[in-house]
Amino acid sequence: MVINTSQLIDSSISQMNSYFKAVLEQGLPGKTLTAEQQKIVDNMQRKSLAVI
């Protein structure tokens, strides 16, 4: 049971990472973030994943 729970959490985190990446690419097609913008995005993503 513990292994299955761990795998479920890992899978959920992976799916969330993919979702964040897809949303960012759709919102800013062909654009590159500045270092400060990337830091903000990374921080938001980290906080969102911490909920899981």
DSSP 34: -
Q: Identify the pLDDT of residue 21.
A: 86
pTM, two decimals, is 0.63
In tens digits, the chain (52 residues) has pLDDT values of 566 888 888 898 889 889 888 988 888 888 888 999 999 989 988 888 888 6
In the prediction, which pLDDT does 50 show? Answer: 83
Whether the Cβ atoms of residue 17 and residue 45 lie closer than 8 Å to each other:
yes
How does DSSP assign 1-51, residue by residue? -HHHHHHHHHHHHHHHHHHHHHHHHHHSTT----HHHHHHHHHHHHHHHHH
**pLDDT for res 1:** 55
pLDDT at 36: 96
